[in-house]
Structure 1
Amino acid sequence: MQKTYGFIVCLLIIIMDVTAGILGIQAEIAQNKVNHFKMWIFECKDPSYNAFKLGLAAAILLGLAHAIANLAGGWIFVRSAREYKGLTANKQLAVGSLVFAWIALVVGFSLLISGAMYNTRSRKSCGLAHNQLLSIGGIVCFVHGLFAVAYYVSATAEHREETKPPPQGNPAAARGQV
């Protein structure tokens, strides 16, 4: 049952992140369908409500996928670099994946929200071009999915190692002197 649960969580995270990425790219396509005038780096664009809805939905899915990965993966605490060096490989991988998942969340969420807010109904804007915020945010969603799944898998492997009883036959192995 535990392996099925892990597989379902990984599949859910990947589906949510891939869907968020596709929605972000679709939002960029919808944004490019509206009327706009461009001269050098300046442009005037009408807002696209469809791009707003798709970008906002992508940002919400990205946040939910991150929350599920963190809640299902458990809590990993590392207080110092010295403590990090003494960790097992699974816990080091979990910490590294968690850091990169948070970075991907912040970057992707910021890009998707910025792109969505650029397309609010009450705003017809002229100014510097905001090229491809939504599509880059969608691509970052795919990257977030990889790191979130890596975090979940390594964190659950670490929790299994911690709860696993030491081997009974070899006393040196029980003390970690093998």
Structure 2
Amino acid sequence: MAKNIGFLVCLLVITMDVVAGVLGLEAEAAQNKMKHMRVWIFECRYPSHQAFKLGLAAAVLLALAHAIANLLGGCLCIWSKAEVLKATANKQLAVASLIFSWIILAVAFSMLIMGTLANSKSRKSCGIGHHRALAIGGVLCFFHGLFAIAYYVSATASAREEKMVPHGGV
């Protein structure tokens, strides 16, 4: 049973990220169905409650997927360049994947929240439009899923390697 848990975690995280990506793209489509008027860089449009709900759901799923992958993947600490050079390939991949997943999370979550907040107002808004924020956030959810899974798999493999090899020896 314990061997299958890794597969289930990967399946859960990738499913949550894919659903978040699809919801982000659907929110963009719902937002584009609303009336709007454009004058140069300024845009007046009515908010879409459907886009608000879909964007919020996408942001929540993205955050949950990230939390699950990071909590169940464990904590990997590399404090110096010497440790990076001595680390196994799994540990190096885990650290790189962790960094990229955090960067993608920050950008995707920001885009989803920005697009969601643009649709939260109860009256029409005028200003500089946030074009494609929900779509970009949705697409980045797919990439986040790839890096989150790469982190989880390499972090758990690195933890298994450390259990097999005693500290101080190679």
Task: Report if TM-score (shorter chain) is over 0.5.
Answer: yes
CA RMSD of aligned residues (A): 1.5
- In the alignment, the residues of structure 2 paired with residue 145 and residue 9 of structure 1 have an alpha-carbon distance, to the nearest angstrom, of 12
- What is the CA–CA distance in structure 1 between the aligned matches of 2:92 and 2:142, rounded to whole Å? 22
- Are 1:81 and 2:81 matched, yes or no? yes
The answer to whether 1:138 aligns with 2:138 is: yes
Moved more, 122-131 or 71-80: 122-131
C-alpha displacement of 1:123: 4.5
The Cα offsets for residues 69-119 of structure 1, whole Å up to 9 and x where unpaired, read as: 001101101112222121110000000000000001100000000000000
Shift of 1:155: 0.3
Could you say what secondary structure the match of 1:68 adopts?
A: helix
Stretch deviating more after TM superposition (103-112 or 75-84): 75-84
- Please list the CA deviations of residues 123-173 of structure 1 after superposition, one character each: whole Å capped at 9, or x if unmatched: 42112121100000000000000000000000000011111257xxxxxxx
Q: Structure 1 residues 130 and 10, CA, compared in 2 at 3 Å: closer, same or farther? A: same
TM-score (norm 2): 0.95
Q: Quote the Cα distance in structure 2 between the aligned partners of 1:141 and 1:15.
A: 11
Q: How many Å separate the matches in 2 of 1:55 and 1:29?
A: 11
SS of the equivalent of 2:65 reads helix
d(CA) in 2 for partners of 1:85, 1:44: 54
Normalised by the size of structure 1, how large is the TM-score? 0.91
Distance, in Å, in 2 between the alignment partners of 1:123 and 1:92 is 50
Q: Report how many aligned residue pairs link the two structures.
A: 169
Alignment partners' CA distance in 2, 1:6 and 1:16:
15
Matched, 1:153 2:165: no
